[in-house]
Structure 1
Amino acid sequence: MAWAGLQTALQLIYPPRCLTCGGMVESDFGLCGPCWRDTPFIGGLICDLCGTPLPGVDDGVAVHCDDCMTTERPWQQGRAALLYRDAGRRLVLSLKHGDRHDVVRPAAKWMAQAVRPLLREDTLIAPVPLHWSRMARRRFNQSALLATALARETGRKTCPDLLLRTTRTRSLEGLTRDARFAMLTGSIRAHPQHGASIEGRSVLLVDDVMTSGATLAAAAEACHASRAREVCVIALARVANQP
């Protein structure tokens, strides 16, 4: 009773606010009606490899988008919770550059809903790693925060340092798809202490945004090099054109 009373008092002093616009909402970690409508959640027919929404009706048959038909993906299946535009883009940027860690909890719930069909009993959840120098500057890896919350949401194990970024690469912004893949090839490997954890396991890789898929591809190849049974991927947001 005392805890319930404290929660009520805190809500009176600090009422729940919308994650996007700051307006009043009924519960913590929520979106108001207008922001919910403006958040581009992905649903319906999607690409089975990257989660991009596609025109048509989902009849249970796996289909692939143009990008995934022309670019080899070193993973089995992939999903994304949001499109990287409008409120979806603002949420990702607020987490990545605005220290808005309150975005992590609802984001993990959205990602869990999207990726649940891909989970196995032995799925090990791991984030795409940051290079140590970038980690020192940013102070946190947003993908690791998402991976930890997603593991908690789905009841699966997680290993935040399963992979290492061994090469510091320049920003990928503005680079072509081919340049992104060329720069990231071989830049990620399994942590020497955790390589045995990958062998024979199903691994789910987590990233905040998927653009070309080059970073996830480098991470997936590192998992395969350590003999993962299968690799799947999940991103909070996918850069894609509307269907």
Structure 2
Amino acid sequence: MDVRSLASQAVRWPAKILFPPVCLGCRNLVGEPGTLCPDCWPGVRFLERPWCEVMGTPFAHEMGEGVVSAEAIADPPPFKRARSAVLYEGVPQRMARSLKFGDRTDLAPWMARWMVRAGAELVTEADAVLPVPLHRYRFLARRFNQSAELSRAIARQTGLRHLAAVLIRRQSTRPQVGLTAAERETNLSGAFTVPPHLRPLIKNKRLILVDDVYTTGTTVKTATRALLAAGAGSVDVLTFARVLPKDFALGGVETI
């Protein structure tokens, strides 16, 4: 071990004593920051190939290169591709809720690392990254936008330009939880826009739209349409977690 390594460890040692690293899922002590303990690690299901090339929905079996799901064929989304890092269940669900409702913004950089891994192909082709915005009233109540925390961390880790204020939410809509698909569409109709003076920033650009959880896709689809109408070249969607049917639940027969 060289002198530089010894010096680096000497600097980090007091910090580890005063602020020991804790598990992202349960806050028990772990050896390194940004990791999970042995109890939490089995509670994470990473979304891996094979998957639908458009929706990022995993297939139980290899279907061949470029195959898309029935969902993508029956109802083609306005975005080019969607990718998510993990299944929204167990530990990832707790992490997402802790970020959104528990003010755990310290989780965002670590969640973003998983997202960058899941969206590697999107990142290599993108010009910029931006978050799904909150309405200003909700932002003032919550004090931060969890999607913006994630998109900012992704921009720092990838070097992509961060367009935090290009897309705005001009209507204060009802929470989407508990609404039917039709009600979600109506609730978000006309909710997003890009101010005319900011449209040159996205003109013909390849964008990554970031959100915390992909549920039905109504929010990101509506936001994507607003970006494309404002002149964006293409939009990919990247989320931390994805809600999938119960067939994909932890402990199921098929793996993802």
For the criterion TM > 0.5, the same-fold answer is yes
The structure with the larger Rg is: 2
SS in 1 for 2:40: helix
1:143 lines up with 2:147 in the alignment: yes
Residue deviations 1:18-77 (CA, integer Å, cap 9, x gap): 01112221111211123122112111222223322221126432322x443333311111
Match in the other structure for 2:86? 82
1:51 lines up with 2:56 in the alignment: yes
Which of 219, 239, 244 is residue 240 of structure 1 equivalent to? 244
Q: Note the aligned Cα RMSD (angstroms).
A: 1.7
Q: 1:99 Cα deviation (Å)? A: 0.8
Q: 1:210 Cα deviation (Å)? A: 0.9
TM-score under structure 1 length normalisation: 0.93
Which of 75, 89, 95 is residue 71 of structure 1 equivalent to? 75
Q: Do the aligned partners of 1:29 and 1:102 also contact (CA within 8 Å) in 2?
A: no
Match in the other structure for 1:211? 215
Match in the other structure for 1:124? 128
Amino acid at match of 1:125: V
Which of 185, 190, 204 is residue 189 of structure 2 equivalent to? 185
Q: Do the aligned partners of 2:210 and 2:239 also contact (CA within 8 Å) in 1?
A: yes
Residue deviations 1:137-169 (CA, integer Å, cap 9, x gap): 000000001001111112211111110001111
TM-score under structure 2 length normalisation: 0.89
Using the TM superposition, name which of 69-78 and 92-101 deviates more: 69-78
| Identity across matched positions, percent | 35
Amino acid at match of 1:180: R
SS in 2 for 1:193: helix
Using the TM superposition, name which of 150-159 and 90-99 deviates more: 150-159
Matched length: 242
Q: 1:120 Cα deviation (Å)? A: 4.4
1:16 lines up with 2:42 in the alignment: no
Q: 1:5 Cα deviation (Å)? A: 3.0
